[in-house]
């Protein structure tokens, strides 16, 4: 069935510049990675500091050894290539995407957008349940046709080539992508930066977007600046816990943000030249943002596959530029909310607070979960799939 869909999509896309694509990493590139890992120049570390100063030396050495000797990229490449993939050019930018049609002809098209430090590989556990629910114990009426693009500057979309690739410009590109695929009515879902792009689609393409679902939401769903004492007194215990996580992020966890938002080119040299540097940069955030111990939350091979999307494509620097572009773009925070319905899934490590989300979004659905974290599609795919299905049932 996959081959037939690929051929049909190639025929359908001939007029619109949609090109079939398969991931094909050379043996030379994989050998070079293993060689570089074997020549790592390791730093020192203070004794008994755990994760206080960042990724522990012993932990990263062991993870790097596994990456070099045991991790099997080709197995994941085959797994990814089992899904139809394509590239197209939008606004002079190459865009790579998975296009997984449901066997259910009346399925609702759904656009899934990843964030940083994520990739399309984040969604491997949810593609089957969302596109073919009947084969995964669900109701066939909940089926989706899935479009899963690599954001400009990320992964196999390759680096951006000019300034200005902001969240708003990505949303404009996604609207054009869905139109190019022939979808006049669709939903949008995303986490992290995907939770910025997806609501933006409700502003730039409201005639076609039936609903927006987000997880790992922050900007637009959190307070700007300090919360006044009188308002804080009305907070629930859970809201106070989320505010505390947000404050801890600002004081202890936002160094990567400041660097990528101000000096993405400077950090690009280290991340592009050193696989250990890239591994540590991403592993630090996975450890911070997952719920519970990292290796209980996300399988080691999943983490490394995600890292490989940055390493193999040399896109660490261009992905970091997304922070710079958005921090240096004119703000547009005073506009009224889009009328497009919004659903929010808040997992155990998230910071979104409903009262602030309602100031700029037409929120009609809100779920709170006591497990899962920032990478919900990896950590708690069952909860994420269930919440997406529930939200969109009333919008089909």
Q: How is residue 326 written in tokens? A: 């958005």
Q: Report pLDDT for 325.
A: 97
Measured CA to CA, the distance from residue 68 to residue 62 in angstroms comes to 10
**Catalytic positions, written as ranges:** 192, 323, 374
Residue 15 confidence (pLDDT)? 45
* 30 close to 110: Cβ distance less than 8 angstroms: no
Could you state, in chain order, the average pLDDT of each consecutive group of 10 residues for the chain (396 residues)? 42 68 98 98 97 98 98 98 98 98 98 98 98 98 98 98 97 98 98 98 97 97 94 96 96 96 98 98 98 96 98 98 94 79 98 96 98 98 98 97
Residue 76, pLDDT score: 97
Helix axes 167-180, 194-204, angle to 10 degrees: 70
- The separation between CA 137 and the C-alpha centre of its own chain, rounded to angstroms, equals 26
- Could you give the CA distance from residue 21 to residue 156 in angstroms, rounded to a whole number? 10
- Residue 190 in contact with residue 114, Cβ under 8 Å? yes
How much is the pLDDT for 5?
Answer: 42
pLDDT of residue 347: 98
d(CA 17, CA 93): 12
Distance CA 7, CA 238 (A): 50
Q: What is the pLDDT of residue 337?
A: 86
Place of tokens 């004794």: 47
Contact 284, 374 (CB under 8 A): no
Length of the chain: 396
What local confidence, expressed as pLDDT, does residue 334 receive?
Answer: 64
* pTM of the complete model: 0.94
């Amino acid at each position: 069935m996959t081959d037939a869909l690929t051929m049909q999509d190639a025929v359908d896309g001939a007029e619109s510049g949609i090109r079939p694509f398969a991931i094909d990493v050379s043996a030379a590139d994989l050998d070079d990675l293993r060689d570089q890992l074997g020549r790592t120049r390791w730093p020192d570390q203070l004794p008994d500091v755990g994760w206080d100063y960042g990724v522990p030396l012993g932990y990263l050495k062991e993870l790097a050894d596994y990456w070099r000797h045991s991790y099997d990229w080709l197995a994941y490449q085959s797994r990814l290539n089992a899904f139809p993939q394509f590239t197209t050019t939008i606004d002079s930018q190459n865009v790579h995407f998975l296009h997984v049609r449901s066997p259910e002809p009346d399925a609702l098209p759904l656009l899934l957008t990843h964030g940083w430090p994520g990739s399309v590989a984040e969604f491997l556990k949810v593609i089957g349940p969302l596109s073919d629910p009947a084969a995964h114990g669900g109701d066939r009426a909940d089926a989706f046709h899935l479009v899963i693009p690599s954001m400009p500057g990320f992964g196999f979309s390759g680096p951006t080539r000019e300034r200005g690739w902001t969240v708003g410009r990505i949303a404009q590109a996604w609207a054009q992508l869905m139109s190019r695929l022939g979808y006049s009515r669709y939903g949008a879902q995303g986490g992290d930066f995907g939770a910025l792009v997806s609501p933006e689609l409700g502003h730039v393409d409201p005639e076609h977007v039936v609903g927006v679902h987000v997880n790992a939401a922050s900007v637009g769903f959190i307070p700007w600046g300090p919360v006044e004492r009188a308002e804080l007194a009305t907070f629930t215990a859970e809201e106070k816990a989320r505010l505390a996580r947000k404050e801890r992020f600002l004081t202890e966890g936002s160094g990567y943000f400041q660097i990528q938002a101000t000096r993405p080119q400077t950090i690009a040299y280290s991340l592009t030249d050193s696989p250990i540097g890239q591994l540590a940069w991403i592993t630090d955030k996975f450890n911070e943002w997952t719920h519970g111990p990292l290796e209980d939350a996300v399988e080691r091979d999943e983490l490394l596959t995600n890292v490989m999307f940055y390493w193999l494509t040399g896109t660490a620097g261009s992905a970091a530029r997304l922070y710079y572009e958005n921090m240096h773009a004119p703000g547009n925070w005073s506009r009224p909310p889009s009328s497009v319905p919004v659903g929010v899934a808040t997992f155990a490590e998230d910071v979104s607070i409903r009262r602030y989300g309602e100031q700029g979004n037409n929120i009609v659905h809100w779920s709170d979960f006591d497990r899962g974290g920032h990478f919900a599609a990896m950590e708690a795919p069952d909860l994420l799939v269930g919440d997406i299905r529930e939200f969109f049932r009333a919008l089909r």
